[in-house]
Chain A
């Protein structure tokens, strides 16, 4: 696929060079040298790093005399972590874009068990008239390899093979004018499991939607849509039909009052067993804004679910607001709650109460930077089974800038999670600390440095420590060349498992050159 994209770029450049207007790109050539130790399957950030010579064409922009634009980014063309993207368009007439990328995930200590995913896609749009465009696309994703699962605590290790292909295509049209948009689309998904054909399935989806306001009465807007979806699993001769209808409306009153309503109805039917499930949702919101100074939202949400054995209903509420205490200081808050009751039948979990709370403060001064803080709490409680989960997050951030020294960012986030089941006396807790810091000092002549670090520590029922730091330098020469060098260091330690440690030093050097043609 990437060869196809490169050929396409070369062909387009060749054709366009006859009547070239102007174009630019950055060529990057470099070498990556990773030095890894211990367990290769624990540090996700370095799964996709490969040793070797890398060639990249970044930020390609080209405009022909015919007004055709070519944009592209081709990262690591010569390596297995390549990420290629190309688009060709003539604004107001057509656009064609495509991409291809690869990603590897490693599972075991030595790197023998890994999976690799390759994604490729092509999308196109044609403007058939001033107010109408046709669109379509094709997407294919392939994944294959071996995965290894270690059950915790270590009881046994199981390996699985993975090898599947998913592809989809879509086509449709969109009509629009200054006050409305209508869209119709057909999508087809197919999933093929090369190891177990009983997983093969396909879906056909028809989707139509409209969004409109009323001419000369723009206070009122409507939106709505229909989605018809049919899924088929070949091996089980199972068909599942889902019909979804949604509608929404919003009315803008004077003085920035807004009322919004939306409705959602989804019905899933299975032909073979003549069973069906219906989910329905109504929600109503009221919003008020004082231009640039503050605002609030009040909301109500009602949901029902009806399947062959159970009926449930849920009421939800939301209150949120923001207030600008001064031009530099603002406060935000939010509280939401949903209570679910089982009307008929008996679900596994029974009734549920769920709430979220959030308060944030921000002080921002264009002269020196900003200071922010946020605290958020989520509580989920199942009264019948006496189970409760409680999560708290605190995050803070300091950003400083100074013309003489540069920029400094520092952030700290604390997560506290606790689950307990009183009837069975079972509990689980974790407390995570994440520190981030980044420094971008003012350039010393033609030399620019950047330094960033993160530290992660998890306590209580987990015991993990992770550190990463990156040191980078860029030297810009008068000839237009740039030399970039970076050293990234990663460490990982699972202090509860003796063999789950990892250290890596990844050195990268690149030469960059901006070109115009």
Chain B
């Protein structure tokens, strides 16, 4: 068994010390003049839920009301609702800019991709209640608010083969990790999200199935063959197994009627069982193929085991 690479560990440690020195002594943003107690004089209804969050103005490092609600001076002079900015009334771009200084990973959502949320005018407050509520200030713990807009996805979960979202084992945020789009997910893409629960299928392998690599020219990763929300086919495949394989692979001989079985009706995965990648076979053949089909394929003398 190989030990942890000491050279890399040393680099990580050095980087940690430098980061600690740089950020521990960085200057703080100066506090606003109006404190939150002034606001709570009238708005004590939000105090209870705020106390349960890291936005709690009463704790060190908490958030003052005026950090998010700009134009407070005018509101104190004339406390009508028009004289204060609430995030719900702002466009997504403006609302996100108020949250972004403290929540860097969410800045502009996915700052470097094609982000449909931003162009659909979905802001932080579309999913979060900044005065508190559920975990991570979300509107609900099970991310059911996502299906308010994504009704077609909700319909996918009604299909025969699906991820256990309706059973509350997973929710949308189990896979769609918006907060980490700026690092891991950007590099490894959707495949990284899948591999935390499906380690058997995750690479890298010596012999990669190119379609399974999210950063390959095929571009799909796991999604090349699977429908993650639900499918009519087993294992959430986009099509019935053989038809799916044939959309890329038309292998001479495999379409002919085999003397023993009709290949058209034989599941490709019976032989190519290591289809996600293999350490032993560039054709992703089953490591137990000799014992699996000994009687039919090998002992009959038709096929050799050399490849």
Residue of B nearest to A384 (CB): B250
Partner of A176, one of B104, B158, B160, B249: B104
Chain B residue at minimal CB-CB distance from A349 = B248
B288 to chain A, nearest CB (A): 9
- Cα–Cα, bound, A356→B307 (Å): 38
Which residue from chain A places its CB closest to the CB of B233 in the assembled complex?
Answer: A462
- Whether A468 touches B158, Cβ cut-off 8 Å, given contacts A75-B168, A234-B1, A268-B204, is yes
A41 to B195, alpha carbons, bound, how many Å? Answer: 25
Indicate whether A223 sits within 8 Å of B59 (C-beta atoms), given known contacts A130-B24, A428-B243.
no
Nearest CB to that of B148 among chain A residues? A399
A413 touching B152 in the complex, CB below 8 Å, given contacts A151-B270, A198-B287 = yes
Q: Which of B28, B183, B206, B241 contacts A209 (CB 8 A)?
A: B183
Chain A 400-424, CB-CB to B under 8 Å as 1, else 0, gives: 0000000001010100010101011
Q: Is the CB of A434 within 8 A of B215?
A: no
Alpha-carbon distance between A295 and B92 when the two chains are bound, in angstroms = 13
Residues of B that sit less than 8 Å from A by CB: 1-2, 4-5, 8-9, 11-12, 15-16, 19-20, 22-24, 26, 28-29, 48, 51-54, 56, 59-62, 91, 93, 101, 104-105, 107, 111-112, 114, 116, 119-121, 134-135, 141, 151-152, 154-156, 158-162, 164, 166-169, 182-184, 186-188, 196-197, 199-200, 203-206, 208, 210, 213, 215-219, 232, 238-241, 243, 246-250, 255, 261, 265-267, 270, 279-280, 287
Task: Give, as a whole number of angstroms, the nearest-CB distance from B166 to chain A.
Answer: 6
Beta-carbon contact of B151 and A436 below 8 Å: yes
Contact residues in B for A144 (Cβ distance below 8 Å): none
Q: What is the predominant secondary structure among interface residues of chain A facing chain B?
A: strand
B208 x A454 contact (CB < 8 A): no
A312 interface residue per 8 A CB criterion: yes
Residues of chain B within 8 A of A44, CB atoms compared: 160-162, 164
A173 to B246, CA, bound (A): 46
Q: Which residues of B contact A191 (CB under 8 A)?
A: 199-200
Majority SS at the chain B contact face: loop
Contact A270 B167 (CB under 8 A): no
Measured between C-beta atoms, what is the minimum distance from B198 to chain A in Å?
A: 9
Q: Are B266 and A225 neighbours in the complex by a CB distance under 8 Å?
A: no
The contact string, 1 if C-beta is below 8 Å from chain B, for chain A 101-139, is 101000000000000000100000001111110000001
Bound CA–CA A48/B241 (angstroms): 26
CB nearest to B119 among chain A residues: A322
Does the CB pair B9–A132 fall under 8 Å? no
Contact B199 A103 (CB under 8 A): no
User: Is there an interface contact between A103 and B19, defined as CB atoms closer than 8 Å?
Assistant: no
Distance in Å from the Cβ of B19 to the closest Cβ of chain A? Answer: 4
Contact (Cβ within 8 A) A454 B246: no
B250 surroundings in chain A (CB, below 8 A): 385-387, 421, 423-424
* Given A130-B24, A348-B248; 13 other pairs, CB 8 A cutoff: A130-B61, A151-B270, A181-B105, A206-B9, A206-B12, A208-B12, A228-B5, A260-B112, A316-B219, A409-B151, A411-B155, A423-B250, A430-B232
* A417 CB contacts on chain B under 8 angstroms: 238-239
Q: How far is the CB of B87 from chain A (nearest CB, A)?
A: 15
Q: Is A445 located at the chain interface by the 8 A CB criterion?
A: no
A-B contact pairs, 7 of them (CB 8 A): A151-B270, A173-B16, A175-B22, A316-B219, A421-B250, A423-B250, A454-B155
Asked if A240 is at the interface (CB within 8 A of a chain B CB), the reply is yes
Chain A neighbourhood of B155, CB < 8 A? 395, 411, 413, 434, 436, 454
Contact between chains at B62 and A81 (CB < 8 Å): no
Q: Provided the pairs A177-B26, A207-B184, A419-B239 are in contact, do residues A67 and B246 lie with their beta carbons within 8 angstroms?
A: no
Report how many residues on chain A are interfacial, defined by Cβ distance under 8 Å. 153
Scan residues 428-443 of chain A and give those whose CB is less than 8 A from a CB of chain B.
428, 430, 432, 434, 436
Using known A-B contacts A207-B183, A424-B255, determine if residue A155 contacts B215 with beta carbons closer than 8 Å. no
A89, A279, A492: the one contacting B215 at CB < 8 Å is: A279
A4 within 8 A of B: no
**Cross-chain contact B62 with A91 (CB below 8 angstroms):** yes
Expressed in whole angstroms, the Cα–Cα distance for A318 and B1 within the complex equals 46
Binds B, one of A28-36, A182-190, A476-484, A507-515: A182-190
Q: Which of A91, A232, A279, A466 has the most CB of B within 10 A?
A: A91
**Closest CB in chain B relative to A401 CB, distance in Å:** 12
A236 at interface, CB cutoff 8 A = yes
B152 and A393 contact, CB distance less than 8 A = yes
Q: Let me know if A211 and B182 touch, CB within 8 A.
A: yes
A83–B5 CB distance below 8 A: no
Question: Which of chain A's residues have a CB closer than 8 A to the CB of B59?
Answer: 67, 91-92
